[in-house]
């Protein structure tokens, strides 16, 4: 199985399978206002064994909700950080309709593929848009919709000596 297929499999697998590939650490942390501080181990840290990436969530009192939130964060971190080369067998990201931010599986997969195409295009927005068969405007709107996506695109552009993208519409 290629690296691209492996990454995309991690992004699309159900929470139970993704969780099985992780080291899970439950720990105590302080909460807002000091309630239940150091009384329950509701904070969750996940370390994905195959990629070495980690995610953590401590916002909720519920360990189960923190685990669910940490899994969502891990999927997005995998999408943002693991790049794969574009080949003839690389699928086009599904961008019509635009991937829903609240469906973390399909969104993270589309995000990963868009970043792969951007990297292959040396972070040049018009070239990447043409390779993905979308307009430059549509790709730009998708980038500005997610602050983490924008940050990663601007990081890549900076490495290539390109200016950061700036939102023309405020």
pLDDT at 27: 83
- HSE of 73, CA atoms in CB hemisphere, 13 A: 17
Q: In this structure, what token pair is assigned to residue 36?
A: 């239940």
**So what's the pLDDT on residue 131?**
93
- Give the pair of three-digit tokens for residue 163: 């200016």
**pTM as predicted:** 0.86
Q: Is 44 helix (H, G, I), strand (E, B) or coil?
A: strand
Q: Would you give per-residue pLDDT tens digits along the chain (170 residues)?
A: 655 578 988 999 999 999 999 999 988 876 555 555 546 778 899 999 999 999 999 888 888 999 999 999 999 999 999 998 988 888 888 888 888 888 888 999 999 999 999 999 999 999 999 999 999 999 999 999 999 999 999 999 999 999 999 876 65
pLDDT of residue 4: 58
Query: Domains of the chain: which residue ranges?
Result: 3-81, 89-170
What's domain 3-81's architecture? 2-Layer Sandwich (3.30)
Per-residue b/e over 102-117, b at no fewer than 16 CB within 10 Å?
A: eebbebbbbbbbbbbb
**Residue 115 has what pLDDT?**
96
């Amino acid at each position: 199985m290629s690296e691209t297929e492996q990454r995309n499999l991690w992004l699309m697998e159900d929470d139970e399978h993704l969780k099985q590939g992780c080291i899970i650490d439950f720990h105590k942390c302080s909460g807002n206002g000091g309630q239940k501080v150091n009384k329950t181990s509701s904070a969750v840290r996940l370390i994905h064994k195959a990629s070495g990436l980690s995610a953590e969530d401590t916002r909720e009192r519920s360990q189960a909700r923190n685990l669910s939130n940490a899994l969502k964060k891990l999927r997005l971190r995998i999408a943002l950080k693991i790049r794969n080369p574009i080949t003839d067998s690389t699928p086009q990201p599904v961008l019509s309709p635009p991937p829903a931010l609240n469906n973390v599986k399909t969104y993270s997969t589309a995000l990963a593929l868009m970043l792969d195409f951007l990297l292959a295009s040396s972070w040049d927005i018009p070239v990447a848009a043409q390779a993905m068969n979308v307009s430059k405007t549509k790709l730009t709107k998708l980038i500005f919709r997610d602050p983490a996506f924008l940050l990663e695109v601007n990081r890549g552009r900076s490495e290539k000596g390109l200016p950061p993208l700036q939102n023309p519409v405020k």
